[in-house]
Amino acid sequence: MGEVELRNVSYSFGDRVALEDVSFELDSPFFCAVMGPNGAGKSTLLKLMLGLLKPQKGMISIMGYDVPREANRVRRLIGYIPQVINIDHRIPMSIEEVVAMAALSRNLPPRIVTGEVRRRVREALELVGLDDPSAQFSELSGGQRQRVLIARALVGEPRMLLLDEPYSMLDFDMKCEIADLLYRLHRDRGIDIFLVAHELSPCIHLEPTVILLNKRVYAIGRAGEVLTLENLRRAYPGLTEIPAGFILGEDHG
């Protein structure tokens, strides 16, 4: 059994199929990117892996745990970075406070920022390249905010990071910086990386394992094996071929 294993997983929202008969296995260490069009079920896949949703069919095992039955144990081993984070920018919060919230959420009340919590926060910020804990979160650039959110996930010392569209709303140079940061965490800290993204160009040079998804898995393997015209044509119904190559539609190219 791999570190992550899905077998015949299906999930629907009423009559709308989100995932159908999805199966794959990943052995640690892995740096994996899931690619697919809008509505492919990428975010649903992450929620199923976190135990926030329960598969209507099939099984999910992570690090030897049955996710639907042992979701709390699984979530203590995983750091999750969602695509949208609910932080009210009208409330002044330092980046130290944003990261500390994650550490405190694991403790029973009263939740107090102890010296140990502060040490873990500073260490997490150092890992993502931020050296001013007092800086205001609302005043940061998009790339810096993404680094804070990664630090917030790291403060729990996870064995795996799950990221939902970590490159969205960033310029290309910053996307590449975030991709390189994630790879360094994978290489130097031994953290498995599982991300979903509309585009793989920021991390393609890192040779991730690629899963091509559109409600079901069309291919899994190295980018050169997966991102063939035949596979993309099957996964992207709107693919248009042009003399210079092809266009996948949406924000893919």
What residues does each domain of the chain span? Answer: 1-77+159-227, 88-158
β-pair partners for 4:
26, 62
Q: Residue 120: is its pLDDT beyond 70? A: yes
| Least confident interval from 106-115, 166-175, 197-206 | 106-115
Check residue 222 and give its pLDDT: 92
Q: Residue 156: CB partners within 8 Å, gap ≥ 6?
A: 76, 79, 102, 103, 106
Q: Residue 246: is its pLDDT beyond 60? A: no
Q: Residue 67: is its pLDDT beyond 50? A: yes
Q: How many CB atoms lie within 10 A of CB 25?
A: 13
Tokens of 173: 């140079």
SS3 at position 35: strand
Quick one: what percent of the chain has pLDDT higher than 90? 57
* 1-77+159-227, CATH topology level: Rossmann fold (3.40.50)
- Provide mean pLDDT across the span 28-49: 94
- Provide mean pLDDT across the span 98-114: 69
Quick one: what percent of the chain has pLDDT higher than 70? 87
Tokens of 180: 């390189």
Tens-place pLDDT, residues 171-228: 899 999 999 999 999 999 999 999 998 878 888 888 999 999 999 999 999 988 998 8
pTM for the full model? Answer: 0.88
- Provide mean pLDDT across the span 15-44: 94
* 122 or 245, higher pLDDT: 122
Q: Mean pLDDT of all residues in the chain? A: 87
What span, in angstroms and rounded, lies between the C-alpha atoms of 77 and 225? 31
* 231 or 102, higher pLDDT: 231
Check residue 185 and give its pLDDT: 96
Q: Residue 42: is its pLDDT beyond 90? A: yes
Q: What pLDDT band is residue 253 in, cutting at 50, 70 and 90?
A: very low
